[in-house]
Amino acid sequence: MAYEAQKAIARQSLLLKSLPEHHIDTLLSHAIWREYDRGETIFLQEEEAKAIHVVLAGWVKLFRMSPSGAEAVVSVFTRGESFGEAVALRNVPYPVSAEAVSACEVMHLPSPVLLSLMREDAEIGVSILAATFTHLHSLVSQLEQLKAQTGAQRVAEFLLNLCDSDTGDCDVELPYDKLLIAGRLGMKPESLSRAFSRLKSVGVKINRNHAEIANIETLRDYAESDHQRGSLGGIATVPRGGN
C-alpha cells in the first residue's frame, strides 16, 4: 500500500479526522506502520500501553482471557477504525489483548507524541473524548443487543452492517471465521448455526463464507421486530483456538 494511501485512510479515522491538519502531519510523521499475519499478536492484556492504533487494512479483534482459558471477544475493528486511545493516554496496562484476525496493516501512534500535542492545543482532548465516547457507545449497543434481541436478530443486524446498499438483494462476504462471529455476537458456535438456519425464512442463504440476502428490507424488518425479542440466544465466551 502506498504511503499516501495509508495516510489517507488514517486521516479518516475517528481519532484523526477532527484534528487540525498540522497536528495530523505531526502525528503521522512519528507513526509506526506494521503488517501482521493472521493470528499474530499485536499486544497482550496487561502489557504497558504506549500507542494508539489505527487499522489500515484487514481485521483486528480485542479480547480478554478468563482464568479458565476461555476467550471473550470485546470488539472487532477494520479499516479506518482506531482503538486504545483511553489506556494509552492514561499510561495504564491494556485491559485486553489484540490479535490480527486476518492479514492486516496497523498504524501505531506513540502516545507521548499525542500527549505533547494535547499540552499545546486543548482541542486535541476533544477528539480523544469523542473517540472514547464512541467506543463506549458501541459497547452499550452490544449490551443492548444481548439483552433485547434473539441470536438470529443479532446475526441479521451483523449481516445488514456488511451490506453496501439499503435496498434490494445483496451478496456479502463474511469477514472472519464463524467462531469469531459467534464470539463477537455473544453466542455459542452452535447457536450461530441455528441462527443462520432461522434466517433462511427471511431470505438469507449461507454458502461457506458468503451470505446471500434476497431482500435487505425484509431482513431489516426481522432484525427490528419486537415479537422475536426476549431470548439471549446462547450467550457464551469462546474457547480459544477453535474454528
Mark whether 88 and 13 lie in a shared domain. Answer: yes
Domain count, the chain: 2
Mark whether 157 and 125 lie in a shared domain. Answer: no
CA distance 82 to 77: 8
Mark whether 123 and 177 lie in a shared domain. Answer: no
Query: In the listed set 92, 114, 146, which residue is the last one of a domain according to the structure?
Result: 146
240 touches 71 (CB < 8 A)? yes
Mark whether 118 and 180 lie in a shared domain. Answer: no
Mark whether 41 and 107 lie in a shared domain. Answer: yes
Beta partners for residue 52, in sequence order: 109
pLDDT the model gives residue 5? 82
- The kind and range of the H/E element at 174 are none
Mark whether 18 and 82 lie in a shared domain. Answer: yes
pLDDT digits (tens, 9 = 90+) for 78-87: 998 888 887 8
The enclosing domain of 57 has a CATH number of 2.60.120.10
pLDDT the model gives residue 214? 95
111 touches 78 (CB < 8 A)? no
Per DSSP, helices labelled H in 38-122 are: 85-90, 111-120
Structural domain containing residue 208 = 150-239
- Percent helix / strand / coil, the chain, rounded to 5: 40, 25, 35
Mark whether 230 and 156 lie in a shared domain. Answer: yes
Mark whether 39 and 138 lie in a shared domain. Answer: yes
C-alpha cell at 97: 489483548
The enclosing domain of 192 has a CATH number of 1.10.10.10
What is the model's pTM? 0.75
Mark whether 105 and 27 lie in a shared domain. Answer: yes
169: Cβ contacts below 8 Å, ≥ 6 apart:
212, 213, 214, 215, 216
Query: Closest Cα partner for 184 from 162, 168, 210, 206?
Result: 162
Query: Closest Cα partner for 238 from 36, 58, 68, 38?
Result: 68
- The kind and range of the H/E element at 221 are helix 216-224
Query: In the listed set 146, 176, 199, which residue is the last one of a domain according to the structure?
Result: 146
Mark whether 90 and 200 lie in a shared domain. Answer: no
pLDDT the model gives residue 218? 95
pLDDT digits (tens, 9 = 90+) for 128-142: 777 677 767 666 666
pLDDT the model gives residue 148? 62
Segments of the chain scoring below 70 in pLDDT? 1-3, 131, 135, 137-148, 226-243
Query: In the listed set 146, 171, 192, which residue is the last one of a domain according to the structure?
Result: 146
DSSP category for residue 39: T
